[in-house]
Structure 1
Amino acid sequence: MGYYINPEHCTKEGWLDTYGESVYPPDDLRWPPPSGKVFVCLIKNPTFTAAGVAYCEEEFKQFLPLASGPWPQTDHRLRKWYTVPRAHIIAVCPEVEGVLV
């Protein structure tokens, strides 16, 4: 199931705009993230957005549009990638701390 950003006092998008740095162009994405940072993938689903924490390389690959995981390779949901300082990730999603690489 993974770990997701769900801030209490603002939207996921607002939180990411405040604490994250957009990765653009997304074609430049490579594992690992910069030192002290964590990749977060904002995915636009039909009725909601999800901000998934890429806490390890395998999870990072699952969020890529052509992932070989449970999602079909025709997954065309819009994605926006961010790097977020590790401390901010832990503050909003403390349960991920033990698995962050």
Structure 2
Amino acid sequence: MSVDFERMLAPMMDAFAREVTYTAPGGEPVARRGVFDRDHQRAFDGNGVYHSAAVSKLGIRLSEWSPRPAHRGVVVVPGEGTYTIHDIEADAEGAADLILRKVS
């Protein structure tokens, strides 16, 4: 029996996603949704110093994003700011994390 991960994503998105505005490079703004989060990553530099950086990302259900998100696309997250898509980390189950860089 196989597991339909794509189908399992829908209720999670219904519970946790928020509406955002996405503009593809050269495109028009469209309403989309995703789960916005900030991860804190720490790295040890070898000299006894830890460095920390906040990484903003938007978890999405790929089937809800047609056309698919593109690098350098712009995402506006209400209450958080405007971001460009720096990287897209898709998984094999129909989801992806858009790694974002804050513009304003």
Q: Give me the TM-score of the superposition, normalised by structure 2.
A: 0.26
Higher-strand-fraction structure = 2
Task: Tell me which structure has the larger Cα radius of gyration.
Answer: 2
Between the two structures, name the one with larger relative contact order (CA 8 Å, sep ≥ 6): 1
Q: Which has the higher helix share?
A: 1
